[in-house]
Structure 1
Amino acid sequence: MTKDKDERKRSHLKLVVNNAEIRSARPSGAEQEFVPLEELIANRDAFRTAFYRGMGRMQTKGYVALERFLAGREAPYGIDPIHGKVLVLPAGSLSPESLEFGSPQDEVLLSISEDAGGSGLCFSLEMILPYFSEDDAVMEEALLFAPVLQYGALFLEENPHDGLLDLIYRLAVPLYPPLLTTRLAERMFSIFSFELKETFLALTDYPEG
Structure 2
Amino acid sequence: MTHDNDRENRPHLRLVVNNAEKRNPRPSTSEDDFISFEELATKRDIFRPEFYQDMDQLQKNVYEELERFLGGKGWPYGLDPRHGRLLVLPAGVVCPETAEHGGTQQDEILVYVAEDVTGQGLCLSLEMLLPYYSEDEAVMEDAFLYAPVNQYGTLFLEENRHDSFLDLIYRLALPLFPPDLTGKLLDRLFAIAAYELKETLRGLAEYPAG
Please report how far the alpha carbon of residue 183 of structure 1 lies from its aligned counterpart in structure 2 after TM superposition.
0.5
SS at match of 1:132: coil
In structure 2, the CA distance between the partners of 1:200 and 1:84, relative to structure 1 (3 Å rule), is same
Please report how far the alpha carbon of residue 29 of structure 1 lies from its aligned counterpart in structure 2 after TM superposition.
2.4
Distance, in Å, in 1 between the alignment partners of 2:70 and 2:108 is 15
User: Which residue number in structure 2 is paired with residue 42 of structure 1?
Assistant: 42
AA aligned to 1:71 is G
In structure 2, the CA distance between the partners of 1:88 and 1:98, relative to structure 1 (3 Å rule), is same
Please report how far the alpha carbon of residue 181 of structure 1 lies from its aligned counterpart in structure 2 after TM superposition.
0.5
User: Which residue number in structure 2 is paired with residue 93 of structure 1?
Assistant: 93
User: Which residue number in structure 1 is paired with residue 21 of structure 2?
Assistant: 18
User: Which residue number in structure 2 is paired with residue 143 of structure 1?
Assistant: 144
Distance, in Å, in 2 between the alignment partners of 1:79 and 1:178 is 24
In structure 2, the CA distance between the partners of 1:88 and 1:208, relative to structure 1 (3 Å rule), is closer
* 8 Å CA contact retained: 1:132, 1:164: no
* 8 Å CA contact retained: 1:28, 1:83: no
Alignment of 1:1-209 (within 5 A): 18=21, 29-30=30-31, 32-101=32-101, 102-177=103-178, 179-207=180-208
SS at match of 1:131: coil
TM-score by length of 2: 0.85
In structure 2, the CA distance between the partners of 1:110 and 1:90, relative to structure 1 (3 Å rule), is same
AA aligned to 2:51 is F
**Count of aligned positions:** 188
Distance, in Å, in 1 between the alignment partners of 2:188 and 2:209 is 35
Which sections of structure 1, spanning at least 5 residues, go unmatched? 1-15
* 8 Å CA contact retained: 2:133, 2:209: no
Distance, in Å, in 2 between the alignment partners of 1:18 and 1:144 is 25
* 8 Å CA contact retained: 1:121, 1:178: no
Note the aligned Cα RMSD (angstroms): 1.9
